[in-house]
Amino acid sequence: MQRSPIRKRVAVTGASGLIGSALVRSLRTDGHDVLRLVRRPARTADEVEWDPERLYVDAAGLVGVDAVVHLAGAGVGERRWNEAYKKEIRDSRVLGTTAISQALASLANPPEALVCGTALGWYGDTGTRAVDESAPAGTGFLPSVCVEWEAAAAPAEEAGIRVTYARTGLVVAREGGAWGRLFPVFRAGLGGRMGDGRQYWSHISLHDEVAALRHLVDTPALSGPVNLTAPEPVTNREVTAAMGRVLRRPTLFAVPAPVLKVVLGDFADDVLGSQRVLPGRLLETGFDFAFPTIDDAIRAALR
């Protein structure tokens, strides 16, 4: 993918997270100005204060930005799910998106684009059925969160800002996220399938995730939902085999579904659920995946 040669001013929420920090590095390497939204008083010229729980954003700090990439939110797989943490997951996404979209809508000259990071959780459990961006929302906790999450960007859309919803899959990275916890287990030879292993995991390499976010910023034709996932979804059994193959470790162990439910709480239903999601709109707009297969993505994460 050819990147825009025009220098842009881009604001990023969630800039200290796995995806956000990689995106900030990528943008700055290519000479773009990056503002990071922080949950404390700004200390440097590249920081803007915000407090999503209070729906507060220092909108004056966003004057002159060309685009905003909104990635902030409580980690879905960071803790065992209970009702309190499920509320934190929902509030962090809905309130944060509301705060950002209202702040951008208040500007006399709002930015051209808002890229709102959401999730494949929108589709719920698709079983073996392949779906693209035309599919309706599924049922359950994560789909309901995603529906509210995306709806919270309405003020930005109504202000004429081009809004895209980056529905991201499982990011294959060594530094963090779900895969960051898988690598040590598989390296130790303790990795294996989860449940029966037949559930589809729609993944994307960290490199392609960052490139896709930049593609959304730079492509005026893109608005609405865009799936950020590799073109070849694979089952958990296939992921397990690929991890063993690339790391050259045995994958004899398996985690039974009842054990996952004890460890993960309600999140186990999503780990055991199946999402076979295709990146229809990325491919239609000429995006080239550097690491399209699961083996490619795993090897890229190890570099």
Would you state the pLDDT for residue 85?
Answer: 84
Cβ-count burial 145-170 (b if 16+ within 10 Å, e if not) = bbbebbebbebbbebebbbbbbbbbb
pLDDT value at residue 79? 67
The domain in which residue 53 lies consists of 9-302
- At 36, which CATH number? 3.40.50.720
Question: What CA–CA distance (Å, rounded) separates 67 from 138?
Answer: 30
3 belongs to a structural domain: no
140 in a structural domain: yes
Which residues are paired to 204 by β-bridges?
171
Q: Are strands 162-168 and 113-119 parallel, antiparallel or unpaired?
A: parallel
pTM for this predicted structure: 0.94
* The two structure tokens encoding residue 256: 């039974």
Radius of gyration of the chain (CA): 19
Whether the Cβ atoms of residue 129 and residue 273 lie closer than 8 Å to each other: no
Residue 115 in any domain: the answer is: yes
Residue 43 belongs to a domain: yes
pLDDT of residue 217: 98
Residue 204 falls within a domain, yes or no? yes
What are the tokens at 25? 């590095």
DSSP-assigned beta bridge partners for residue 163: 114
β strands within the chain, DSSP E: 9-13, 33-38, 47-51, 56-57, 67-70, 113-119, 130-131, 162-168, 170-172, 192-194, 200-201, 203-205, 224-228, 234-235, 253-255, 276-277
pLDDT in tens, the chain (303 residues): 445 568 999 999 999 999 999 999 999 999 999 999 999 999 999 999 999 999 999 999 999 999 999 999 877 766 667 888 889 989 999 999 999 999 999 999 999 999 999 999 999 999 999 999 999 999 999 999 999 999 999 999 999 999 999 999 999 999 888 788 888 888 989 888 988 899 999 999 999 999 999 999 999 999 999 999 999 999 999 999 999 999 999 998 887 777 666 655 655 666 678 999 999 999 999 999 999 999 999 999 998
- Look at residue 185 in the predicted model and tell me its pLDDT: 87
Domain-embedded: residue 147: yes
Gap between the Cα atoms of 297 and 303, Å rounded: 10
State the total domains in the chain: 1
Sheet architecture: strand order including 56-57 = 56-57, 47-51, 33-38, 9-13, 67-70, 113-119, 162-168, 224-228
pLDDT at 264: 58
Tell me, yes or no, whether 1 lies in a domain.
Answer: no
Torsion of CA 126, 127, 132, 137, to 10 degrees: 0
Distance of CA 70 to the CA centre of its chain: 10
Query: CB of 198 within 8 A of CB of 104?
Result: no
